[in-house]
Amino acid sequence: MFQLNNKTALVTGGGSGIGKDVCKVLAKQGAHVIVVDLNTESAKGTVDEITANGNSAEALTLDVTKLLAVTTAFEKLNGLDILVNCAGISHIGTATTTSEADFEKVFQVNVKGMFHCLQAGVNAMKKSGGGSIVNISSIAAKVGLSDRFAYSMSKGAVNAMTMSVAKDYIKDNIRCNSISPGRVHTPFVDGFLKNNYPGQEAEMFEKLSKTQPIGRMGKPIEVAHQVLYLCSEEASFITGSDFSIDGGFITLNS
């Protein structure tokens, strides 16, 4: 089950965090994975881990906020079967404390960057006869989270774009779904705690972990396994849906 032999997958934000585990899981199941990241060394690091295990991958340095660069890169692909949009940034702030510059930065990466990849990805998939797209959203698109104004805005847009693409290209054999993780333990979380709570990292990590009813943060691999399912033939009847992977945060905290 869940085999991706002879499939080409492109994963943005594949150099670290959730994106990195997505790349490794898809490659393990037989896909040739194009690891896209703004950081060249991070992308190469993911590729090295994949190829060391005998699987297939290549690195692509790309700024998803640049339409021409994205379009050019996708046009060079020799077919595209899977697109996973993981690239994204976060921001701490409310509607009154968020600067215009910070709002614009979040919008450029999380919304416009995904739009660029969706546009180029759909065009590539139409030439290949179809495919599966998975967009990484967040529970922030569904519930009110403190100090996440710009980030929540961007993830709400991700959910809307997902449904729109699913609707518009269903006749082209293109499926589009999204995943909304709760708190997932990634290097970003460790950096956030170190920068904002120096000396209290362990205490705050425990506090944040317990906001999930299940009692811990998620793991990147757990999100990656959901991505694998949605990209596989076993999920061929699923499109236009969002899947919460949040340890019960939304349903059990309400």
Q: Three-state DSSP class for 3?
A: coil
Of 151, 169, 197, 229, catalytic: 151
CB atoms inside a 10 Å sphere around CB 68:
8
Strand partners, 34: 10, 58
Vertex 190: Cα angle to 185 and 191 (nearest 5): 135
* Amino acid code (one letter) for 20: K
What tokens were used for 17? 């965090």
Sign of the torsion angle spanned by Cα atoms 110, 113, 161, 6: negative
What tokens were used for 195? 């920068």
DSSP annotation string for 136-156: E--GGGTS--TTBHHHHHHHH
Nearest to 117 by CA among 147, 150, 148, 84: 84
**Active site (annotated) includes residue 197:** no
List strand residue ranges (DSSP E) for 2-81, in order.
Answer: 8-12, 32-37, 57-61
The catalytic residue positions are 151
